Structure 1
Amino acid sequence: MVSINLSAQADYKLWLQYAKVQNTKWTTEYQSKIKGIFALGNSETIQAATKELQLGLSGLLDTKITVQQNIEDENILILGSKSSLNEETLKNLKNELNQINDEGYIIKTISIKNRKKMIIAGKTDIGVLYGVYNFLRLLQTNKSIENLKIVDAPKINIRILNHWDNLNGTVERGYAGSSLWNWQKLPDFIDQRYIDYARANASIGINGTVLNNVNANALILTPQYLEKVEALAKVFRPYGIKVYLTARFSAPIEIGKLKTADPYDANVKNWWKEKAKEIYKRIPDFGGFLVKANSEGQPGPQNYNRNHVDGANMLADAVAPFGGIVMWRAFVYSEHDVNDRAKQAYSEFVPYDGQFRNNVIVQVKNGAIDFQPREPFHPIFGAMPKTPLMMEFQITQEYLGFSTHLVYLPKLYQEVLESDTFSKGKGSTVAKVIDGSLNNHKITGIAGVANIGSDINWTGHPFAQANWYGFGRLAWDPYLDSETIAEDWLRMTFSNDENFVNPVKEMMLQSREAVVNYMTPLGLHHIMDTGHHYGPGPWVSNLSRPEWNPIYYHKADKNGIGFDRSKTGSNATAQYAPEIAKLFDDVKTCPEKDLLWFHHLPWDYKLKNGQPLWNGIALKYQEGVDEVASMQTTWNRMGNYVDETRFKEVQMLLNIQHKEAKWWRDACLLYFQQFSGKELPKGVEKPTQTLEYFESLKFPFAPGNN
């Protein structure tokens, strides 16, 4: 019973385990340099930083670390922001303070009265808190703290989680239980989980949270709920986290008793201004609104023959006096345009470049369809230089096997961030677009659709925690390497033993490619089963809107497979810069990973390895299955390094993943084989079920499907 309880605790603590340092070399170094803490200032944030440092150091060093009263004591770790540091210390840190922004921090060994001391400092108290978490990470990952000089600051302003949580406690596309927010018990009952949520986010630099679903319910804007939102804002504030809300565009009608939500209507404008005033009176640091409008049936300005600029600017004017922003989502597609769904967001937004208010940021998904296992970067990122653009990644695994599959998503994030838009010549990466450096934007942002729920381990799968962690690290610095992030996470969450870290890190790094292979190889996309998106459904063709049907995307027939987006097809390639358009347009230069995204090709088209396309697809599906088997083999050797509960949990989940990878392979190949008319190549296992069997499977209660 005790071991199970301890294991559950380990799962709950995420990457903030603070387990005793096992290596005596590091223990000796750390203990010799840290005897106590001296904190300057007494704000709630400094108190949180001091408490975290005590908790972390006491666990890591297996000894009680106290807050000292005398700054001159030997081996004291000093915490303080610019306003609380004395002149001598400020002089010592002058160069470093000039290099950071308000959220940045300095960790440095300095000399005070000829005694060496370590200091964690920032321009603001929140910078100090971020520095504390980085300092603890050094110890958690067995790094030296000798003569430190670390100067770091976030490269993106708004680093935010989008919760798709509903007021009834369900989570759309959530695979880790119910919503964190217990609206019924708020505002008077503050769950410890809210504080631990804030700690976890602050530890990776996330500074904002949108509490409710993009498919919004207007009731969140009523006084009854704003009182509850205010209570959460108070919990999160010491950790530097602002709250945001998704605003339902039709709220003036639904809760305001107006007859219209037309953004040109004076009463509507006034209603939103008064609503903003009401919110900011309760929550002075309220971040602003996220809006999904005129997408998938959500109301918006187009209902009144207005455009996205009209809607976004009206809301922006309402929150501007209080320093708020509007994040206007570019995820739109119309049932009336059956040309190519991939082109629609570009068509609707690019003509309005430069027309949005300066406190509007347009939030763009990483790809033009919808969070697929792999998509080419969204063409909007290279096409709206006058408008701040915000990246939207999905952390929850809606199209990647839910929380039953181990998929390390920072590999996907890095692939997108490193993509070159060529919008200002070579080197115009997506990362430079969203951090504002390419087009000199002051407002910058990145959002992740959260994978967090009420499960004791927060994310449903122990390894899905790495996607939350990795998103935060890349939000802080979009130029980080996903391999570095994976290693840090493993060391902080499980063990510093190289015999564990190295093989499991490799397993994580190959996991995303494995999923692409057994689900959507060579540029296939959106062939998941309908509605719940659980499992394969390439045969689905009976839905009311063409672009909801998988057959719309793969277009398999006797002549071949793939969506022709070249200039001979939908010409979606023309939405990219000429250098990229040319690359994608030509089947000879199009990267094979994106081949069927941009081209419809015959089954006997010869791939670069000499294999005909049919064989190539089949072998990729098999490769994906084999890669999951390899992940299982790796994990099965790790029992000595991981507590029994987490070891068995991951083992069982990998067994499910292997079984479902075979399901994907068999169902898709049997379906496509009808059109190719070809035998499976040597090396591909033969299906044990019929296509009719796979088509008959139904999942009416798949999680996350509201």
Structure 2
Amino acid sequence: MIRNLFLGLLFCGWTLGASAEDGSRLWLRQDTTASATIDCLLHSQTLNIAQRELNRSWKGVPVTLQLCADKEHLALGKDGYTIRTDKNHIVIGSLSETGLLYAAYHLIRLQETDIDLGHLDIKEKPAYEYRILNHWDNLDGTIERGYAGHSLWKWEELPDVLSPRYEAYARANASIGINGTVLNNVNASPEILSDAYLLKVKALADVFRPYGLKVYLSVNFASPMVLGKLATADPLNTEVSEWWKKKVYEIYSQIPDFGGFLVKANSEGQPGPCDYHRTHAEGANMLAEALKPYGGIVMWRAFVYSPSDNDRAKQAYLEFQPLDGKFLDNVIVQVKNGPIDFQPREPYSPLFGAMKHTPLMAEFQVTQEYLGHSNHLAYLAPMWKEFFRYVDPDMLRAVAGVTNIGDDVNWCGHDFAQANWYTFGRLAWNPRLSSEEIADEWLKQTFTSNKDFLVPMREVMLESREAVVNYMMPLGLHHIFAWGHHYGPEPWCEIEGARPDWLPSYYHRADSEGLGFDRSGTGSNAVSQYPDSLANIWGTLDTCPEEFLLWFHHVPWTYKLKDGYTLWEELCYKYDTGLKEVRRFRDTWNQMRPYIDTERYEAVAKRLDIQVNDAVWWKDACLLYFQSFSKMKFPKDIEKATFRLKELKKVHLPITNFECPGADILPRKE
């Protein structure tokens, strides 16, 4: 059965013979009864936090915290640090107080992950100056693509009431090196810039500041019209630019370390400079000029698409690449990792590498909009590492993650979804860390270092994303989700009056001949936006990697793949394999009961039950639907369908209230 998508707050339980466990402590579950000697000659809010964390949790030799302005630490920058053992003593050095805080958390992490602490000689420097979470939180407390309750930000209570979770949030981010947070949805309400809301934003900024966490805001480009009652938002209009300069001055008068603006413009109905026949560069530069005197930045999203005869995968490139070199230096163009929209697998966006004279930042989606929401275990490090196989980390100036955090007790809805928040922070600091290293770190800190738990659950995490791809959209299939909420399959979806590029058939192109979107030179030619070295491989059917096959090619059902199976057979085996893999994950988890607390064990077990049943749903829906085009038999050794296609086509999940969807016609199989 397709089970309840929102299971609510988790119940309190106990670790084995220890304290209650509800997931709220995330990966910061270390013992707080340590009594090591921690020395620091200076005092400030940030340094006091660093000392407090070490005083509570560090169990080793004495530690000294030192602010250092020597050549070595200048080269490491304000967030970098050193940690060195000097006989029976550890010295932590950094150019800044925030760097010392990051180092304190790293030293505790080393202790909690069983690293040899006897001969430390560590030099750390973050890969990116800007390591930013994007909250898609609305002012009414809802979260667009939020699967863990309502917003953390209780706007109706601010600025007078400060939830203790605000500081806990800042602490969690500091522990993994995240240094910025955009508080509100990219589909922004102008009201966030009103005087009343800026006081609320200031209250949050004051809580976050000691943890090195800067506040940013998403802004609506039409704010001068809504708040300032101007007749236009034309970026070349003097009154408009002056309104923004005045508003920026007001912000910095209250929040002197304000980070800047994130802007979604001229996409999905949002206002922007193109409404006035201006370019994205002209719009971004107008805001950048207002922020420049204060050190603020503009993050201008390249997620744009509009009704067009062009392949949607081509549109961001067509709109932004001609603007390369025309943005001011405090504008960073924020580009989704793939050219469509956070699919379980996409090739990287061709804008990376095509805008050599423009600072770029990658936008990853931590919240699992297209990966089973908070019901499915999907460790995303392998996805993001796949992106970095094609995109040199040094090519980027910054990274952003669309967060999966809500007000659920365990923050992320699924205990294993916490791993993706953690992973984003660790890769934002060092994109060359491996998926295995990060999984080990997170498992040891969040659950236990017991190898009987660690080894099998690390394997589950590392294989989970590929399993999701297999049971949802293998071989390069993409965007065949149910309408609106993107939970569950609906490759047959047709909505009267909907734009073609909002519908699955636009992407899968299934017909009697075959399956897939032809983006080769004989199709939309989207492949030409990539470097020739890749375009020549991806654009040819026989050399295209099979994971991207149906992304770049319309492939005949009878086409033979490298393993000798036809496309139809391979498609069947992929869906069947995905289902078998997630069943194996559930079986593995069932063996983990002795190693962790009852509450978290049961919470994850419930979600794995949902995931298995969802995998059955995906397999049956997609294979039965595509069989209506291929007219080919299922291989004898794959699991027979549980449901009939006509039953599955009756399933319509509520977009805003997922209460036991499909329960009447999708009986529990497992």
Contact 1:7 1:643 in 2 (8 A): no
Match of 1:202 in 2: 174
| Farther-moved stretch of structure 1 (570-579 vs 675-684) | 675-684
Please report how far the alpha carbon of residue 688 of structure 1 lies from its aligned counterpart in structure 2 after TM superposition. Answer: 2.1
Please report how far the alpha carbon of residue 10 of structure 1 lies from its aligned counterpart in structure 2 after TM superposition. Answer: 4.9
Contact 1:96 1:106 in 2 (8 A): no
Please report how far the alpha carbon of residue 468 of structure 1 lies from its aligned counterpart in structure 2 after TM superposition. Answer: 0.2
For residue 118 of structure 2, give the secondary structure of its aligned residue in structure 1. Answer: coil
User: Whole-Å Cα distance in 1 between the matches of residues 657 and 64 of structure 2?
Assistant: 47
User: Whole-Å Cα distance in 1 between the matches of residues 657 and 72 of structure 2?
Assistant: 49
User: Whole-Å Cα distance in 2 between the matches of residues 143 and 99 of structure 1?
Assistant: 26
Deviations 1:180-227 (A, max 9, x none): 000011111111100000000000000000000000000000010000
* Counterpart pick for 1:573 among 513, 522, 527: 527
What is the 5 A alignment of 1:628-639? 628-639=582-593
Structure 1 residues 704 and 100 mapped into 2: Cα distance closer, same or farther (>3 Å)? farther
Please report how far the alpha carbon of residue 98 of structure 1 lies from its aligned counterpart in structure 2 after TM superposition. Answer: 4.8
Match of 2:428 in 1: 475
Contact 1:103 1:124 in 2 (8 A): yes
Match of 2:552 in 1: 598
Contact 1:338 1:546 in 2 (8 A): no
Match of 1:69 in 2: none
Amino acid at match of 2:428: A
For residue 514 of structure 2, give the secondary structure of its aligned residue in structure 1. Answer: coil
1:504 partnered with 2:480: no
Structure 1 residues 701 and 545 mapped into 2: Cα distance closer, same or farther (>3 Å)? closer
Match of 2:42 in 1: 41
Match of 1:485 in 2: 438
Deviations 1:29-64 (A, max 9, x none): xx9xx731112211111011111112223xxx5xxx
For residue 23 of structure 2, give the secondary structure of its aligned residue in structure 1. Answer: helix
For residue 698 of structure 1, give the secondary structure of its aligned residue in structure 2. Answer: coil
User: Whole-Å Cα distance in 1 between the matches of residues 268 and 41 of structure 2?
Assistant: 51
User: Whole-Å Cα distance in 2 between the matches of residues 326 and 703 of structure 1?
Assistant: 35
Match of 1:680 in 2: 634
1:359 partnered with 2:330: yes
Match of 1:163 in 2: 135
User: Whole-Å Cα distance in 2 between the matches of residues 223 and 659 of structure 1?
Assistant: 49
1:616 partnered with 2:570: yes
Amino acid at match of 1:496: S
Structure 1 residues 690 and 704 mapped into 2: Cα distance closer, same or farther (>3 Å)? closer
Contact 1:368 1:377 in 2 (8 A): yes
Match of 1:102 in 2: 78
Amino acid at match of 1:513: E
| Farther-moved stretch of structure 1 (512-521 vs 36-45) | 36-45
Amino acid at match of 1:700: P
User: Whole-Å Cα distance in 1 between the matches of residues 623 and 216 of structure 2?
Assistant: 45
What is the 5 A alignment of 1:102-141? 102-110=78-86, 116-141=88-113
1:338 partnered with 2:350: no
1:430 partnered with 2:431: no
User: Whole-Å Cα distance in 2 between the matches of residues 574 and 382 of structure 1?
Assistant: 13
What is the 5 A alignment of 1:278-357? 278-335=250-307, 337-357=308-328
Match of 2:6 in 1: none
* Counterpart pick for 1:650 among 590, 604, 610: 604
Please report how far the alpha carbon of residue 638 of structure 1 lies from its aligned counterpart in structure 2 after TM superposition. Answer: 0.7
Structure 1 residues 305 and 704 mapped into 2: Cα distance closer, same or farther (>3 Å)? farther
* Counterpart pick for 2:67 among 81, 104, 127: 81
For residue 633 of structure 2, give the secondary structure of its aligned residue in structure 1. Answer: coil
Structure 1 residues 313 and 302 mapped into 2: Cα distance closer, same or farther (>3 Å)? same
User: Whole-Å Cα distance in 2 between the matches of residues 323 and 555 of structure 1?
Assistant: 48
What is the 5 A alignment of 1:237-248? 237-248=209-220
Amino acid at match of 1:587: L
User: Whole-Å Cα distance in 2 between the matches of residues 332 and 486 of structure 1?
Assistant: 34
For residue 134 of structure 1, give the secondary structure of its aligned residue in structure 2. Answer: helix
Contact 2:314 2:339 in 1 (8 A): yes
Please report how far the alpha carbon of residue 277 of structure 1 lies from its aligned counterpart in structure 2 after TM superposition. Answer: 0.4
Deviations 1:529-588 (A, max 9, x none): 010111001001225211000000000000100000000000000000111110111111
Please report how far the alpha carbon of residue 76 of structure 1 lies from its aligned counterpart in structure 2 after TM superposition. Answer: 2.3
Structure 1 residues 98 and 261 mapped into 2: Cα distance closer, same or farther (>3 Å)? closer
1:453 partnered with 2:453: no
Match of 1:14 in 2: 26
Deviations 1:638-674 (A, max 9, x none): 1111101111111111010000001000001111010
User: Whole-Å Cα distance in 2 between the matches of residues 185 and 36 of structure 1?
Assistant: 40
Amino acid at match of 2:46: T
Amino acid at match of 1:100: L
Structure 1 residues 202 and 432 mapped into 2: Cα distance closer, same or farther (>3 Å)? same
Contact 1:338 1:547 in 2 (8 A): no
* Counterpart pick for 2:199 among 195, 215, 227: 227
User: Whole-Å Cα distance in 2 between the matches of residues 704 and 326 of structure 1?
Assistant: 36
Contact 1:409 1:512 in 2 (8 A): yes
Match of 1:526 in 2: 479
For residue 439 of structure 2, give the secondary structure of its aligned residue in structure 1. Answer: helix
Please report how far the alpha carbon of residue 144 of structure 1 lies from its aligned counterpart in structure 2 after TM superposition. Answer: 1.6
For residue 610 of structure 2, give the secondary structure of its aligned residue in structure 1. Answer: helix
Structure 1 residues 320 and 385 mapped into 2: Cα distance closer, same or farther (>3 Å)? same
Amino acid at match of 2:149: G
Contact 1:381 1:430 in 2 (8 A): no
Match of 1:180 in 2: 152
User: Whole-Å Cα distance in 1 between the matches of residues 85 and 622 of structure 2?
Assistant: 59
Amino acid at match of 1:431: P
User: Whole-Å Cα distance in 1 between the matches of residues 95 and 582 of structure 2?
Assistant: 47
- RMSD over aligned Cα, in angstroms? 1.7
Please report how far the alpha carbon of residue 99 of structure 1 lies from its aligned counterpart in structure 2 after TM superposition. Answer: 4.2
Contact 1:175 1:460 in 2 (8 A): yes
For residue 351 of structure 2, give the secondary structure of its aligned residue in structure 1. Answer: helix
Q: TM-score, normalised by structure 1?
A: 0.89
Match of 1:437 in 2: none
Gaps of 5+ in 1: 22-30, 66-74, 84-93, 420-428, 435-443
Contact 1:99 1:151 in 2 (8 A): no
1:668 partnered with 2:613: no
Amino acid at match of 1:142: D
Amino acid at match of 2:469: V
Amino acid at match of 2:348: F
Amino acid at match of 1:594: F
User: Whole-Å Cα distance in 2 between the matches of residues 486 and 35 of structure 1?
Assistant: 28
Higher relative contact order, chain-length normalized (CA < 8 Å, sep 6+): 2
* Count of matched residue pairs: 646
Match of 1:538 in 2: 491
Match of 1:87 in 2: none
User: Whole-Å Cα distance in 1 between the matches of residues 108 and 76 of structure 2?
Assistant: 20
Deviations 1:327-359 (A, max 9, x none): 000000011x13200000000000000000000
Q: TM-score, normalised by structure 2?
A: 0.94
User: Whole-Å Cα distance in 1 between the matches of residues 545 and 399 of structure 2?
Assistant: 27
* Counterpart pick for 1:404 among 375, 378, 382: 375
Amino acid at match of 2:518: D
Amino acid at match of 2:653: F
Contact 1:171 1:704 in 2 (8 A): no
Structure 1 residues 569 and 397 mapped into 2: Cα distance closer, same or farther (>3 Å)? same
